[in-house]
Amino acid sequence: MKNRFLLLIILFGALAFISCKKQFEDFYKIQVNSLSEMEDFYTWSPDRIPMVSAHRGGPYPGFPENCIETFENTLRHTASILEFDVALTKDSVKVLMHDNTLDRTTNGSGKVIDKTYEEIKALRLKDNEGKLTDFTIPTLEEVLEWGRGKTLFTVDVKREVPFEMVVDEIKKAQAEPYAAVITYSAEAAKEVHALHPDLMLSVTIRNEEELQRFEDSGIPVEKWIAFTGTSERPQEFNQMLHERGVFTILGVLGNLDRSAIARGDHIYKEFVKNGADILATDRPIEAAEAIKDLIPEKTSKMKYWKYD
């Protein structure tokens, strides 16, 4: 019980303490400092720590998606993987943006690809309720530098952005130990793996056919993080991935998050008990709170979890 208590203090903290530390630059961190540590962190074991991945960084009221200030807000509440999207400006600067256009998330308009970085930099971000904030659109370079020693990233590369440009930015920042690239097909995964064989890859594996496709791909299983879709997979299927040492990411964003709001956050526990290791969610703070009781009393993964 003592070990469990210490784990809970380190990972989540007391609510009163959270309210105090928001005043400072203190974060719950996942620190992975080398490629070998990255591989070890993502190698499944029965003592793994269930965790959340904050979709688009975890936007909340006052905190827009794909924004460094939003990342910081998430990490003030819980250790988390941070997922974000990369788009391209007219002058080939890689910036964080999900939509092809600027209208929904900023006080600008038009396509991202039609704007220079100077034009993009002058805009301010809106939160998901449409409220304008003082926050601006960060570049991929800025985010990779900010994240060093704080967290793990999964990088979603928009269609108009060549994988090579993102991989080169990760290499330049020496961010391979903490930045994995999201792919949606075996062909895309093979392309990224050929560009940089050391990178971890988020790969879509929702059924045995897709599993076989990746087993035939030539990409070592040690480089997989398996995104199993946005609906629950059978426990037996998750077990097949675990037997191969592969973490599963269940996309609870969307319908499953809405189910948690309607039925209660306890259902996040059910997803983990069914074999989901990482919950990709629009509600990272609530989901992390719901699953904290599932942290093993003793775990070899604890060495990567920090609080500063």
Q: Are the beta carbons of 57 and 65 closer than 8 angstroms?
A: yes
Name the active-site residue from 77, 98, 193, 242.
Answer: 98
CA 140 – CA 229 distance, rounded (Å): 26
CA 144 – CA 42 distance, rounded (Å): 19
Q: How many CB atoms lie within 10 A of CB 208?
A: 10
- C-alpha distances in Å from residue 239, one per residue of 31, 228, 254: 27, 12, 24
Q: Are the beta carbons of 171 and 196 closer than 8 angstroms?
A: yes
Name the active-site residue from 55, 77, 193, 242.
Answer: 55
Q: Is 98 tagged catalytic?
A: yes
Closest to 292 in 3D by CA, of 1, 2, 13, 90: 13
Instruction: Measure the N-to-C terminal CA separation of the chain; round to a whole number of Å.
Output: 24
User: String of b and e for 61-79 (b: at least 16 CB within 10 Å)?
Assistant: eebbbbbbbbbbbbbbbbb
Residue type, 246: V
Q: Is 77 tagged catalytic?
A: no
Local structure of 92: helix, strand or coil: coil
Q: Are the beta carbons of 127 and 117 closer than 8 angstroms?
A: no
Residues annotated catalytic, as ranges: 55, 98
